[in-house]
Amino acid sequence: MSALVWIRNDLRFLDNPAISSAVSLKVPAVLVYVLNAEEIGKNGQIWLKQSLYDFGRRAKSRGFGWVVRRGDPEKILKQIQRETNATHILWNQRVRGHEQDLIIQKRLEDSGTKVSTYPPNLLVEPQTILNQQGKPYRLFTPFWKSLQAVQPNSTIAPDTVPAKKWNKQLLSSKPLVTKAQSLKQLTHWTPGEEGALRLLKRFCTDHIQHYHKQRDIPEPCVTSMLSPHLHFGEISVRYIWKSVCKNPRSESFLRQLGWRDFTHSILYHFPHVADSPFRDNKRAWRKNKHELLAWKQGMTGVPIVDAGMRQLQTRGWMHNRVRMIVASFLVKHLLHDWKEGAEWFWHSLFDADVANNSFGWQWIADCGADSAPWYRIFNPVTQGERFDPQGRYVRKYVEELIDMPDKYIHRPWEAPEKGSYPNPIVDLRVGRERALQSRV
C-alpha cells in the first residue's frame, strides 16, 4: 500500500497541503511530476530543470519516491499507481487546466482510487471570492476589499514518510530538456525552495520597509524578486503573506499579492483569457517585423524601453514598472498586436505565468478586465525621467549610454554626441497620435 502525490507548480515542502496529507497517511509515498512542455516557455524550461533537480534531491532525503515523466498525465498516474500498488492519489489544484483535473479525478475515483485534492497556490480559492450576486469580480478594488476580510492560512512543513526501497527501473525519470540550453541567465538566480526562502528573508529584512515608496524604481530594485519562485510553486503565497504582513508598512506589497489572486480568479472563471481578450476591442494593428525585432532586441532607440528588453534578455526577468512601459510602447506607440508581446514574454520570462502575463498585456491593450483606458499611453521619456532620474537602470543595461550626461540619458537624440546608439524607430508624438486614432 502506498500513495502518489501529483506535483505540478508546487515544487516545495513548506506549506504544501498535498504532501502534508500524504505524510499523515503514514504509508510510503511517491511524488510524480508529468512534464507538458507546451505549458512552459523556453526560459521557463531552463528554470524548471534546475528546480526539479533540487526538489527531487530533497524529496529523496525525506524518504519519498521521486519520478519525472513525459506524456499524458492520466495514463502515467495510472501506470505508476499499478506499479506501486498505490491506493490513494493526492494533488494540489491548479487554476489553468482545472477542468481537465476534474475529469481525471472522476475517472480515477470510478476505478476505485481514493483521490484527495487541495487548494491551489493562492491566498484564497477563486470560487470563494464573489460579489453579492454570486458572480466573479471584474474589478480589482472590490475584489481586494473582499480578500482582505480573509486571513490566509499556511500549513507546517511535513515530516518524512516511511522509508521504502523503490525499484530504480520503476521510478526512472525522463530527462526534462533534451537539447542543450544556456544557463547563463540563471547566474542571477537560485531555483528551488531554499533559494525562494532566502529571497523572502532578505526582502523582509532589507526591503519591505522601503517598498511602498520605492517599488516603481527599477534601480536599485527593492522588489521581492519572488515571482519566478511563486510561478513554479517553490514557495507558497500564503507563507509569503504570513511572513510579510508582520511589517506595518506591508500593505502595498500585500496588495500586489492580492492582484495576483485577482488575475488567477479571472482566468479561473473566464478560461478563454489565456490566449484571447477578455472583451473585444478592435484595433487596426500594424505588422512590421523590423520594429518587432528592434523591440525584442532592445534596439528601439528609446533608452528605458531598451534597458527593459535587455534586462529580459540577460536575466529572464524585468521590473514591473518597466514591463508596463515596454508593453505600452509596443502596443500603443508601435501599434502592434498585444499577442506578439505576450508571446515574447511567455518564452523569455522565468515567471511567465499565464494569468499574470495575459492579464498584464490585456490591461495595457484595453481589452482585459479592469484595463487601463486606451488613451492612457505611457510616455517612455517622462517615465524614465520620473523613475530613473539619474539613469542608473538605463546605464546598467544599455552600455552605449554609460557616459551620457543625465540631462540626455532619456532623450539621447537631443545630445550633441550620442555615439553608436540608434535613433528612435518611431517619433513618440506621431506614435501617440496614431494610437489615439486607431480604433476600428
Q: What is the gyration radius of the CA atoms in the chain, in angstroms?
A: 23
Rounded CA separation 133/203 (Å):
39
What single-letter amino acid sits at 216? D
The pLDDT assigned to 403 comes to 95
- Neighbouring residues of 79: CB distance < 8 A, sequence distance ≥ 6: none
By the 8 A CB rule, do 162 and 62 touch?
no
Phi/psi-derived region of residue 19, left when phi > 0, alpha when psi is between -120 and 50, beta in every other case: alpha
Rounded CA separation 217/223 (Å):
9
The pLDDT assigned to 150 comes to 84
pLDDT band for position 235 (cuts 50, 70, 90): very high
Listing DSSP states for 30-73 in one string gives EEEEEE-GGGS-HHHHHHHHHHHHHHHHHHHHTT-EEEEEES-H
Determine the average pLDDT of the residues in 102-115: 96
The pLDDT assigned to 178 comes to 38
pLDDT band for position 220 (cuts 50, 70, 90): very high
Q: Looking at per-residue confidence, does 159 or 97 come out higher?
A: 97
Across 67-89, b (16+ Cβ under 10 Å) vs e yields: bbbeeebbebbbebbeebebebb
Nearest to 251 by CA among 212, 203, 213: 212
Given a cut of 80, whether residue 98 has pLDDT beyond it is yes
Per DSSP, the three-state class of 149 is coil
Q: Specify the DSSP class assigned to residue 29.
A: E
Given a cut of 60, whether residue 180 has pLDDT beyond it is no
Which domains occur in the chain, in start order? 2-120 (3.40.50.620), 122-151+194-269 (1.25.40.80), 289-436 (1.10.579.10)
Rounded CA separation 136/143 (Å):
9
Per DSSP, the three-state class of 420 is coil
Angle at 124 between CA 321 and CA 204, to 5 degrees: 50
Given a cut of 80, whether residue 181 has pLDDT beyond it is no
Percent of the chain with pLDDT over 70: 94
Across 93-107, b (16+ Cβ under 10 Å) vs e yields: bbbbbbeebeebbee
pLDDT band for position 171 (cuts 50, 70, 90): low
Tell me if the bond preceding 220 is cis, omega within 30° of 0.
yes
Given a cut of 50, whether residue 179 has pLDDT beyond it is no
pLDDT band for position 332 (cuts 50, 70, 90): very high
- pLDDT tens readout for residues 158-169: 777 776 666 555
Determine the average pLDDT of the residues in 210-229: 96
Given a cut of 70, whether residue 45 has pLDDT beyond it is yes
By the 8 A CB rule, do 214 and 387 touch?
no
The pLDDT assigned to 160 comes to 73
